[in-house]
């Protein structure tokens, strides 16, 4: 198995949210609050010494996905060939997966109020990966702050920093498959 992994560069991200728009469009995510990729920009400090730590994350296709263990009906699986964590079609809308995920990856939305919302989440654009293409969010990133690929390649290219400032949950919880280039403030 070749586990796939994300890379995110806090220095390059400009909060443009092209990644979130491209993701919603490519994956036909319903209008509304559901977002498979989210961009946040937590701040710290006191004016005029403010530091901003941009963060763009989606499902991290964890080595130990809390969502799988929390789902009472086995609606979520981790694929053996690429390590992607994907929803099936057995969701009962209990939202236990959402409560268990420290990265808020499982999303629930429906355009029809008479239907229960089914869990949906980042698939790593498996349809694109199968054609040798990168996920849509990676390709839409104007500053090239995102990358995605086999774990060995990502680690060799970007290193192994697993935590950044900006609200990223403790990686020891689920062993997420993401590495970072942290934003560094010098002289502030």
CATH value of 4-181 in 3.30.70.20, 3.30.9.40, 3.40.50.300, 3.50.50.60? 3.30.70.20
Express each pLDDT in 123-157 by its tens digit.
999 999 999 999 999 999 999 999 999 999 999 99
Q: How far apart are CA 116 and CA 94, in angstroms?
A: 10
Contacts for 17-21 with beta carbons within 8 Å, 24 or more apart?
18/140, 18/141, 18/142, 19/56, 19/137, 19/138, 19/140, 19/141, 19/146, 20/56, 20/137, 21/140
Percent of the chain past pLDDT 90, that is, above it, reads: 82
Please give the pLDDT value at position 1: 60
Q: What is the mean pLDDT of residues 146-171?
A: 95
| Antiparallel, parallel or unpaired: β 4-9 and 178-181 | parallel
Provide the whole-model pTM: 0.92
Q: How far apart are CA 73 and CA 81, in angstroms?
A: 23
Domain ranges of the chain: 4-181
Are 70 and 87 contacting, i.e. CB atoms less than 8 angstroms apart? Answer: no
């Amino acid at each position: 198995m070749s586990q796939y992994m994300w890379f995110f560069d806090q220095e390059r991200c400009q909060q443009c949210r092209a990644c979130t728009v491209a993701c919603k469009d490519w994956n036909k995510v319903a209008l509304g609050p559901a977002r498979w990729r989210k961009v946040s920009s937590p701040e710290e400090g006191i004016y005029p010494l403010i530091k901003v730590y941009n963060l763009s994350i989606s499902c991290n296709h964890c080595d130990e996905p809390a969502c799988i263990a929390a789902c009472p009906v086995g609606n979520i699986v981790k694929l053996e060939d690429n390590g992607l964590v994907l929803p099936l079609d057995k969701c009962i809308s209990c939202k236990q997966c959402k409560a268990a995920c420290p990265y808020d990856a499982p999303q629930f939305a429906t355009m029809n109020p008479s239907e229960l919302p089914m869990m949906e989440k980042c698939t790593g654009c498996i349809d694109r990966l199968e054609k040798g293409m990168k996920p849509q969010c990676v390709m839409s990133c104007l500053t090239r702050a995102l990358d995605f690929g086999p774990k060995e390649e990502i680690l060799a290219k970007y290193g192994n920093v697993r935590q950044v400032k900006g609200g990223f949950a403790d990686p020891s919880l689920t062993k997420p498959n993401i590495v970072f280039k942290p934003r560094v403030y010098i002289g502030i």
